[in-house]
Amino acid sequence: MSADRAPLEEALERGEQEGGHIEFKERLSRDVHLSSGRMESLAAQLRHRVLSGDGTATYVVGVTDDGGIAGIPREAFSESMDVLSLLAEEAGAHIHDVETWSAGDDGLVGVATLKEGAMLEGDDDHIVVGTAGHVDHGKSTLVGSLVTGRSDDGEGETRSFLDVQPHEVERGLSADLSYGVYGFDDDGPVHMDNPHRKADRARIVQEADRLVSFVDTVGHEPWLRTTIRGLVGQRLDYGLIVVAADDGPTRTTREHLGILLAMELPTVVALTKVDMVSDERVSEVEREVERLLRDVGKTPLRVARHGVEAAVEEISDAVVPILKTSAVTMEGLDRLDYLFEHLPKTARDEGEFRMYIDRSYSVTGVGAVASGTVNAGSVEAGDELLVGPMADGGFREVEVRSIEMHYHRVDRAKAGRIVGIALKGVREPDLERGMVLLPRDADPTPVRRFEADVMVLNHPTRIGSGYEPVVHLETISEAAVFRPEGGQLLPGDTGTTEVEFKFRPYLVEEGQRFVFREGRSKGVGTVTHVYRE
Q: Sign of dihedral through CA atoms 25, 27, 30, 32? A: negative
For the ranges 150-164, 250-264, 294-308, 476-490, the lowest mean pLDDT is seen at 150-164
Q: Which CATH architecture has domain 127-342?
A: 3-Layer(aba) Sandwich (3.40)
The answer on pLDDT for 222 being more than 70 is: no
Instruction: State the pLDDT at residue 167.
Output: 28
Question: What are the structural domain ranges in the chain?
Answer: 6-116, 127-342, 354-439, 449-530
Collapsed DSSP state (helix, strand, coil) of residue 357: coil
The answer on pLDDT for 228 being more than 80 is: no
> For 32-49, what is the HEC assignment?
HHCCCCHHHHHHHHHHHH
Q: What is the DSSP letter of 451?
A: E
> What is the mean predicted confidence (pLDDT) over 151-172?
53
> What is the mean predicted confidence (pLDDT) over 215-231?
50
Instruction: State the pLDDT at residue 234.
Output: 58
Mean pLDDT of the chain: 83
How far is Cα 437 from Cα 510, in angstroms, rounded to an integer?
18
Instruction: State the pLDDT at residue 164.
Output: 42
Superfamily of domain 449-530 in CATH is: Translation factors (2.40.30.10)
The answer on pLDDT for 248 being more than 70 is: yes
What pairs with residue 475 in β-bridges? none
Categorize the per-residue pLDDT at 199 as very low, low, confident or very high, splitting at 50, 70 and 90: low
How far is Cα 355 from Cα 363, in angstroms, rounded to an integer?
20
How far is Cα 260 from Cα 13, in angstroms, rounded to an integer?
56
The answer on pLDDT for 479 being more than 50 is: yes
Which fold, 6-116? Translation Initiation Factor IF3 (3.30.110)
> What is the mean predicted confidence (pLDDT) over 342-369?
82
Reported as a single tens digit per residue, the pLDDT across 287-334 is 999 999 998 889 999 999 999 999 999 999 899 999 999 999 999 999
User: Ranked by mean pLDDT, which of 26-30, 110-114, 272-276, 292-296 comes out on top?
Assistant: 272-276
Return the CATH number of the domain spanning residue range 354-439.
Answer: 2.40.30.10
The answer on pLDDT for 219 being more than 50 is: no
- Topology match between the domains 6-116 and 127-342: no
Instruction: State the pLDDT at residue 203.
Output: 76
Instruction: State the pLDDT at residue 282.
Output: 96
Instruction: State the pLDDT at residue 370.
Output: 92
Instruction: State the pLDDT at residue 1.
Output: 47
